Every structure is written in structure tokens, then in C-alpha cells.
């Protein structure tokens, strides 16, 4: 596979102590948080409808009937928001040979033995797997959700099809929640990641440690800051 660009629009380096690197624009951050909030609301409302023991969660949405009504509309918001994220970042998440090497050294990843890992672009293999998993799951969840959205589509599908769609939708939702948990845990585990999505910036040391190839491209192609200025520890 040919080498892909590792920087996105708006990525840049700023001199200072420490050196800082713009990682996400305000628009990208807003897009991300709309998607994240939609996912949380869908998980809570979906779980409330999933089992009687979780029905108390409908209280967050004004009761059972209202929960059932707004759940699919939140799904529409999620779809539209994630389309924005997908268009922004899909090229940066294309799989490369170094990603397979990174996965093969997962023990070094978990022990934070970074010097034994290949240099990573803007996203590592784990982040790419989450991105493509969510992309596929959202498409399938929306497709199955349309089948069981009785308010608008009940006349187009048989009862048997709706029953199968409910089962598929429930299984996919559980998988999605698990992927989301992994995503959040990884963001907390790698210190500085959440700050990148709230403030939009990371330190040069953070970029050097976790996404060195991305930083090299910025240094060589988009900034006058020298490599020695962006290689300190976090």
C-alpha cells in the first residue's frame, strides 16, 4: 500500500515551552462530541428498552413511551454526525503494513515499551480498528433500526423480519457498547488523549512518544520547528 498523508487540515506546530501541536480543529472536536453524546444517549435509552430490569432508565427520557419515540431520532443524529467524522478521517485510518507490525507487538503496547514499536501516524492500529468497527456497526445498527422503526416503516416489513431485526439490533448494540468502552478506556489510559479532544492540542513530547510519524511529517512539511525542539518527554 502506498504511503498515505498522516496530517489532517489544521494540524500544525507552535513554538513554546513546551512545544504544542494542533491535533483537532474546533469543528472536528464538536463533531466528535456530538457523536459521543449521541452514542451515550442511545446506549442508555436502548438498554432501558432492552430488559425490564433496566426500565428505570426511561426516567432519564421522560418515561417509556417517550424513550421509545426519541431513541430512533437520536440514531439519526448519530448517523449524520458520524458521517461527518468519517469524511474527515477515513483516509487517515486506512490500514498499512506498519499497523500489522504494531498489533503484533501488542505486549510492548500494553507495557508502554514505545521504543520497540514502529513509528505511528496520526492514528495507531488500535484507533483504526475502533474507527472501522464503529463505521460498520453504525451502518448495521441503522439498517436494522429502520426495520423496527414502526412509526414510519412498519408497513414495509413483515413481523418475522422485524423480530429478526430486533435480535440483530440488540446484539450489535451490545458489541457497540463494548467497542465504546474500549475506546474510552484507551483514551484514559494514554494520558493526554482526552485533552487533545477537549482543547485540540497536545504537547510535542506527547506527539513524539505516541504518533512520531505524524509529528515528523508536520516538522518536515508544515513547520519551521526543528526535530530537537519537539522530542522531550511528556
- Selecting among 32, 183, 210, 211, the annotated active-site residue is 183
Query: Is there a domain that residue 232 lies in?
Result: no
In sequence order, the 6+-apart residues with CB closer than 8 A to the CB of 94 are 1, 4, 128
Q: Is 183 a catalytic residue?
A: yes
The pLDDT of residue 229 is 53
Please count the structural domains in the chain.
1
pTM: 0.87
Distances (CA, A) of 106 to 31, 100, 115, 124: 30, 10, 13, 11
Query: Is there a domain that residue 183 lies in?
Result: yes
Query: Is there a domain that residue 210 lies in?
Result: no
pLDDT in tens, 60-96: 999 999 999 999 999 999 999 999 999 999 999 999 9
Query: Is there a domain that residue 194 lies in?
Result: no
Domain span holding position 141: 25-89+124-189
Query: Is there a domain that residue 119 lies in?
Result: no
Distance CA 61, CA 198 (A): 27
Write out the three cell numbers for 35.
457523536
Residue 138 belongs to domain with CATH number: 1.20.950.20
Nearest residue to 77 (alpha-carbon basis) of 156, 138, 152: 138
Amino acid at each position: 500500500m502506498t504511503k498515505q498523508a498522516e496530517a489532517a487540515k489544521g494540524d500544525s506546530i507552535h513554538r513554546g515551552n513546551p512545544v504544542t501541536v494542533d491535533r483537532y480543529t474546533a469543528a472536528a472536536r464538536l463533531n466528535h462530541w456530538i457523536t459521543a453524546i449521541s452514542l451515550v444517549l442511545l446506549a442508555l435509552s436502548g438498554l432501558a428498552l432492552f430488559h425490564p430490569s433496566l426500565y428505570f432508565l426511561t426516567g432519564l427520557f421522560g418515561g417509556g413511551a417517550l424513550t421509545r419515540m426519541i431513541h430512533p431520532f437520536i440514531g439519526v443524529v448519530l448517523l449524520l454526525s458520524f458521517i461527518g467524522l468519517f469524511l474527515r478521517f477515513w483516509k487517515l485510518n486506512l490500514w498499512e503494513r506498519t499497523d500489522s507490525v504494531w498489533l503484533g507487538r501488542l505486549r510492548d503496547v500494553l507495557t508502554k515499551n514505545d521504543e520497540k514499536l514502529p513509528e505511528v501516524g496520526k492514528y495507531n492500529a488500535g484507533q483504526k480498528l475502533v474507527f472501522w468497527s464503529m463505521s460498520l456497526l453504525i451502518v448495521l445498527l441503522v439498517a436494522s433500526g429502520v426495520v423496527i422503526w414502526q412509526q414510519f416503516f412498519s408497513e414495509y416489513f413483515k413481523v418475522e423480519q422485524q423480530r429478526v431485526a430486533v435480535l440483530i439490533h440488540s446484539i450489535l448494540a451490545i458489541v457497540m457498547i463494548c467497542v465504546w468502552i474500549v475506546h474510552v478506556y484507551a483514551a484514559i489510559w494514554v494520558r493526554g488523549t482526552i485533552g487533545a479532544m477537549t482543547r485540540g492540542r497536545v504537547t510535542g513530547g506527547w506527539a513524539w512518544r505516541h504518533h512520531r510519524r505524524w509529528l515528523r511529517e508536520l516538522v518536515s512539511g508544515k513547520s519551521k520547528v526543528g526535530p530537537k525542539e519537539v522530542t522531550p518527554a511528556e
